[in-house]
Structure 1
Amino acid sequence: MNDDSSQAQDLRSLVFAQRGTLLALPAVVLAALGKPSAFSIATGLPLAFTGEAIRMWAVGYSGVTTRSDRVIAPKLVTAGPYAYVRNPLYVGNFLTAAGFAFAFTGKNGALPRALLVAGSLAAMLGVYATIVPHEEAYLRRTFGEEFDEYTRRVPPVFPLVEPAEPQQGSYDPEVIAAAESRTFLTFGAMLAVLAVKALRS
């Protein structure tokens, strides 16, 4: 591995380890600068809840390893949402972020709203564009042809209409509480801030 490749890998590892903090920054900006309206809340929150539901569905299959500071995969999961799209956690996160971005900015002017929404989602895309190759490199090293075959069947972002076969893995609802406690706290905090801002506006 040359120096450039090594540095790129180190950067991806760092971003992966700090992904929670990095993804929290746009939420803090929205909470500070957003001006919600009743309409923006009514249209944004269903999208946010849909994203969280997708995330919980994915975590039920992938388990608590999703909270690790480094990539861990005891097995290659290809069932549930992973039969439709390779990165359901990140698809769910993106929908949740988009929902909150719309919800928080209903009374912001057109340009500030566009900047807040676009900036929040661009920051998220930047993080994911860095860590997805890092994860996939690990999965390819670990599972080899099995992972390559999976990538040929299942797209990375835009889901299939019908689930791909074969599938392996099972849903375990018991991991949700342990794996998602931090997400639930963040989601709840965003709802609380949104409610306070709506009442004051």
Structure 2
Amino acid sequence: MDKPKQAPQPAPPAQAADWRAVVFKNRGLLLVPVALALVVLGRPSAMSALIGIAIAACGELLRIWAVGYSGATTRADVVTAPQLVTAGPYALMRNPLYVGNALIALGFTIAFSAVPTAQFVWLLVFVVVLLVTVYAAIIPLEEEYLARAFGMRYTEYTTLVPRFIPWKGELAKSKQQGKWNGSVIGSSEITTLALFALMTLAVILKLTVLRDYTVVL
């Protein structure tokens, strides 16, 4: 008599003692200093605001595209993935959410700082160092989890799709997995959308009400 088949066991979670797991859990809070530094120290110009907000908007649109595929797990406090998503932006790059975050951060750095100024350079250095530090910790943690959870499927995916820059083109349709679900955007992306709105409002207030801006001739 055949034995009943057992359901596949989930991959073991990342070790709670791993300091990278602490960084992952608090990844949103760690980016708050970026927003505060820009709002307090930034002195935008009308042109820098237009260019910067446009770049940040591209980053937010990329995030919305990605969240529609990856779902609510993007807000989890621990690394988890119910399935290996390889469609949509994930067919072009493995970390579209973090690329989106980088574009948002770069965009608002430009928006709050008239280019070229020494202040813009220092703010940009601060933003880049913080983002690199955070993502250098959590991306390997995520990759280790995905390798344990999905094995050779994930290994093959990493050979076909780059981490950030989509220089290899789109992953073959036959290898893409996942569908876009717009219903998760409201719950999963509300925090980022709210922050985007607040940062945009802060730029507008500095240019109009507070008149704390830089005139670029």
AA aligned to 1:38 is A
Q: Could you state the TM-score of these two structures normalised by the residue count of structure 1?
A: 0.92
2:52 corresponds to which of 44, 51, 61: 44
SS of the residue corresponding to residue 43 of structure 2 reads coil
Closer, same or farther: CA 125–51 of 1 in aligned 2, 3 Å:
same
Spell out, residue by residue over 1:128-185, the C-alpha distance to the aligned partner (whole angstroms, 9 max, x if none): 1110000000000111111000000000011136311210000000000010011111
Which residue is 2:139 aligned to? 132
2:162–2:168 CA contact under 8 A, matched in 1: no
Which residue is 1:3 aligned to? none
Which residue is 1:106 aligned to? 114
Which residue is 1:25 aligned to? 33
Q: Matches of 1:44 and 1:191 in 2, distance apart?
A: 10
**Highest Rg: 1 or 2?**
2
Matches within 5 A, 1:79-94: 79-94=87-102
1:143 corresponds to which of 136, 144, 150: 150
**TM-fit CA distance, 1:92:** 0.7
Q: Matches of 1:112 and 1:46 in 2, distance apart?
A: 21
Identity over aligned residues, as a percent?
Answer: 45
2:93–2:161 CA contact under 8 A, matched in 1: yes
More helix by share: 1
2:192 corresponds to which of 173, 183, 186: 183
SS of the residue corresponding to residue 174 of structure 1 reads helix
Q: Could you state the TM-score of these two structures normalised by the residue count of structure 2?
A: 0.86
Q: Matches of 2:168 and 2:61 in 1, distance apart?
A: 18
Unaligned 5+ runs, structure 1: 1-5
Q: Matches of 2:155 and 2:104 in 1, distance apart?
A: 29
Q: CA RMSD in A?
A: 1.5
Of the structure 1 ranges 118-127 and 165-174, higher mean CA displacement relative to structure 2 is found in 118-127
